[in-house]
A and B are shown apart, each in its own frame.
Chain A
Amino acid sequence: MCLAIPAKIVSIDPDGQSARVSLGGVTKEISLALVEGVAVGDFVLVHVGYALNRLSEEEAARTLALISEAGMLLDEDLGVNPPLSEQAGGAA
């Protein structure tokens, strides 16, 4: 929960306001409106379509490794949870 994902900038639009990032082999367009001075090859934290801040390749790798490690525990969680009424027993 409350995660922001490190992603590598692969291209920046000519107006400098948006970029394409590579995230787990998928590219995605994000806004650069909240950060300054980022360049192709930089890693940024991405949250709800915005680059939040730049981070070093080492920090990005460490965070991605942690997310991956957590993700392996979470395969069963990746589907959308059903509404409470459809769950046997419901919440505690």
Chain B
Amino acid sequence: MSDPAGRLQVRIGAAGTTIGSSRPVRAARVFVGKGPAETARLLPALFSICATAQSAASVGALEQAQGLALHPWVSAWRGRLVDAETLREHLWRILLDWPPVLDLEPDAPAMARVMAGFVRLRATLTSGRDPSDLGPFALGMTAVAPEPEAGHRAFPELGALVEERVLGRPPREWLALVRGFDGLAQWCGQTDTPAARLMDWLLVQGLADLGRSEIGPLPELGSDPCLAELDARLGGPGSDDFVTHPVWDGEPRETSPLTRNLSAPLIQDMAVRFGNGILTRLAAQLLEVARIASRFETAEEVRIPEFEARELGGPPRQSLEPGVGLSQIPAARGLLVHRVRVTEGRVKDYRILAPTEWNFHPEGVVAAGLDAMAARSDGPELEPLARLFIAAVDPCVEFELVRI
């Protein structure tokens, strides 16, 4: 049986990088013919790696397609759960993928605590019901909200782990110290966690700009003209090509923790020095970990009806036809887009555009970064460094790396 999750095949060498993918980018077609409520219930079971972001995107698109407008606090509630999932996914990279670069063991015991802590946090945030309960992700949300401070009260275990195993200090202190590159360098030199040691090692080895390229970020797609363009690409005859090898304005683009934090002072400062090289990428992931953890640690910032709502789904837009829903969710690895068309109570078309397809485009940011690395050095160190760079951009499937 082939692995239904698919895999990426990356070939590197002086002759140039090639990237192939067997990811099932058209799997959402399985929902064609099903009802909206059944689709909302089944979809996170199928796309279970980022099930929370997938649920948020799915219900947002389905509600929009059916003209359901929700109170902003529902979006806020969903956003808090997506944040928790993003934290879990970033911690997977930091605890399991980063230590082996320094010949350290993956910190599986800590990651096991993260997994268990996330399950408890999610259960609390879905009114303390069964973890598989849809909670705020039931279509047309009718669930009762958790009490306002539930997220804060369920967080200390994860917060303590972030402090102890990743940042070496409380997230709020880390954010106060690491406002620019100098603060990051100071933190690296003073802290004994694998994350700090890896960043320090990259600096000492002169590898901070590893994989630097000129591939630009995917722009914000919130304006009516952009939504209309996105809708046309996903709903038009070329949609299979678009979800397999997406480009915007004719160019491959990046969507990631790095691109959504380009306005943060730390990332701006690092981009001036290292461009979109590896240290800037890892810093953006750490920044998100610290921000999410610090928000959960502050009761008033995670009160569900009151914290700053992000746009998750929304009312029907004039640029979309009736029956069409288009949602955009900031998932752990980048922008997740769902487009659905519902007619007579049935899904007629369902498309998902995931961040991995942007970032692992055959001419995208990973391909360009690996080309730059191979041009600088084609020696035996290329392969382990290429693995580190690929993990830093973070595909959500296994990858095979081949020297050519």
Contact = CB atoms under 8 A, between A and B. Distances in A.
Contacts of A77: 6, 22, 24-26
Nearest to B356: A1
A26 B49 CA distance: 22
Contacts of B363: 84
B246 interface: yes
Interface string A5-18: 10000000000000
Given A4-B5, A4-B48, A59-B45, A34 B246 contact: no
A91 B242 contact: yes
Given A2-B47, A33-B111, A80 B9 contact: yes
B255 to A, nearest CB: 15
Contact of A80 (B21, B49, B50, B119): B21
A2 B50 contact: yes
B169 interface: no
Interface string B374-400: 000000000000000000000011100
Contact of B21 (A31, A63, A66, A81): A81
Contacts of A70: 4, 24, 27, 29-30, 46
Contact of B19 (A33, A83, A90): A83
A89 B246 CA distance: 13
Contacts of B109: 33
Contacts of B396: 1-2
B46 A71 contact: no
A66 B22 contact: no
A45 B48 contact: yes
Contacts of A34: 108, 111-112, 115
Interface string B47-65: 1111000100000000000
Nearest to B5: A3
Interface in A35-92: 35-36, 45, 47-49, 52-53, 59, 62-63, 66-67, 69-71, 73-74, 77-85, 89-92
Contacts of A81: 20-22, 244
Contacts of A80: 9, 20-22
Given A31-B108, A90-B245, A3 B50 contact: no
B42 interface: yes
B48 A3 contact: yes
A63 B45 contact: yes
B362 A71 contact: no
B116 interface: yes
Most buried by B among A1, A49, A53, A92: A1
Interface string B253-279: 000000000000000000000000000
Interface in B31-78: 42, 45-50, 54
A62 to B, nearest CB: 6
Contact of A74 (B27, B112, B362, B397): B27
Most buried by B among A4, A79, A90: A4
Nearest to A79: B22
10 contacts: A1-B27, A33-B108, A36-B116, A52-B115, A73-B29, A74-B24, A77-B25, A81-B20, A83-B20, A84-B362
Give me the 5 closest cross-chain CB pairs, A-B, nearest first.
A24-B1, A91-B245, A33-B108, A70-B30, A80-B20
